[in-house]
Amino acid sequence: MFTYKSKNITLLFHVLVWIVLFSFPYLLSSGSQEQAVIRVVAHSWVPLAMYALIFYVNYLYLINAFVFNKKKIVLFIVVNIVLIASCVWFRETLNELFFQHVFPKAPKGDDGPPVSLFIYVQILSFLIPILFALALKITERWIKTEAARKEAENIKLESELQHLKYQLQPHFFFNSLNNIYSLVDISPEQAKSTIHSLSKLMRYLLYETNTEKVPLEKEIDFMEKYIELMKLRLTDKTKVNYQFPDHVQSILISPLLFISLVENAFKHGVSASQECFIEFEMKLVEDNLTFTSKNFNYPKNVKDKSGSGIGLENLKKRLDLLYPKKHEFNFEVVDTIYISTLSINLA
């Protein structure tokens, strides 16, 4: 859609083009000033004024009214034939009344070029502004259509991202409540403390992630609090280590990209009977941010319905939407160790 500023620029462009077209014939004319002006008026300014008339009648009204309605194409052609015929007649009448000395008649015995040839040339010349008006209008319409299509795509993208974010928040909350539930009977005080920590995390989810980008340091703080919350329900058999960069004040990133990997590690990497570990590491090298999680691979029991597996699928969709062709997401199992790596180019 054209803005008020762009409309003013378009108007200025039209004015400048016609100033140049009307000025050039006079600047290139020769002879006495009076004769030069008369020749320029007869040969250039009169036809240019008619070209402008035909151009703007088509550009401002006829094309919009008739061309984009297939049922009225014939009417568009008829109106332009009448318009061109009127201009040809008017110019010939004007030449006979005021510019006879500029367009002298052929001497007797010299037939000269036939009148029909002059009329044919004039008709062709009057077709040119119609073609220019058509080309310009069709181009403008295409630009508007493309702008509308891109705007619709952006609205759809924003809507889809918002939907994915709304999916993530209940999913996160659901997993956290499962952890608190496991603490209620074992340690009520810890459960109270966990609820307090969860309220801080939910405050971040609800009030600070409603923007396109968030500071990376806030995202790191959110993950650290979540990891500490998850550690409360673990036994000494599970070692949890994490390492995040310290100086990331100027880095912005889309929110909640890494929490699914953290959740996944705690969901599949903890055993009640065996010693195990969970590791998280984030590295920032120039514009490349890499997050790696490692844990023992203990697949969920088929009957275990905690969580719906929505986290990783959600993450893949969001990465495709937010960082197309600027991210890599890989996971593999190496000697019973599950390793997932997410790399994002922030440039």
Note the pLDDT tens digit of each residue in 4-47. Answer: 566 777 778 777 777 776 676 655 555 555 555 666 666 677 78
The predicted structure's pLDDT at residue 37: 61
The predicted structure's pLDDT at residue 307: 47
Longest CA–CA separation in the chain, Å = 123
Place of tokens 């909640």: 256
Rounded CA-CA distance 73/272 in Å is 79
- Going from N- to C-terminal start, the domains of the chain cover 4-112, 166-345
Average pLDDT in the chain:
78
Rounded CA-CA distance 305/314 in Å is 17
238 vs 186, higher pLDDT: 238
Q: Is the pLDDT of residue 142 over 60?
A: yes
The predicted structure's pLDDT at residue 220: 93
30 vs 315, higher pLDDT: 315
Q: Is the pLDDT of residue 281 over 80?
A: yes
CATH topology of domain 166-345: Heat Shock Protein 90 (3.30.565)
Q: Is the pLDDT of residue 103 over 60?
A: no
**pLDDT tens digits for 322-337?**
888 899 999 898 888 9
**pLDDT tens digits for 202-227?**
888 778 887 888 899 999 998 998 88
Q: Which of 54-58, 152-156, 342-346 has the highest mean pLDDT?
A: 342-346
Q: Which of 114-118, 253-257, 313-317 has the highest mean pLDDT?
A: 253-257
285 vs 105, higher pLDDT: 285
| Predicted confidence band of residue 304 (pLDDT cuts 50, 70, 90) | low
Q: Is the pLDDT of residue 238 over 70?
A: yes
Share of the chain above pLDDT 70, in %: 75
Rounded CA-CA distance 221/23 in Å is 68
Q: How many residues does the chain have?
A: 347
The predicted structure's pLDDT at residue 294: 94
Torsion of CA 59, 62, 63, 65, to 10 degrees: 130
Q: Identify the CA nearest to 161 among candidates 336, 315, 307, 18.
A: 315
Checking 279-285 for CB contacts under 8 A at 24+ apart, the result is: 279/240, 279/241, 279/242, 280/223, 280/227, 280/241, 280/242, 280/243, 280/244, 281/242, 281/243, 281/244, 282/220, 282/243, 282/244, 282/245, 282/258, 283/245, 284/216, 284/245, 284/248, 284/251
CB distance 263 to 311 below 8 Å? yes
The predicted structure's pLDDT at residue 328: 94
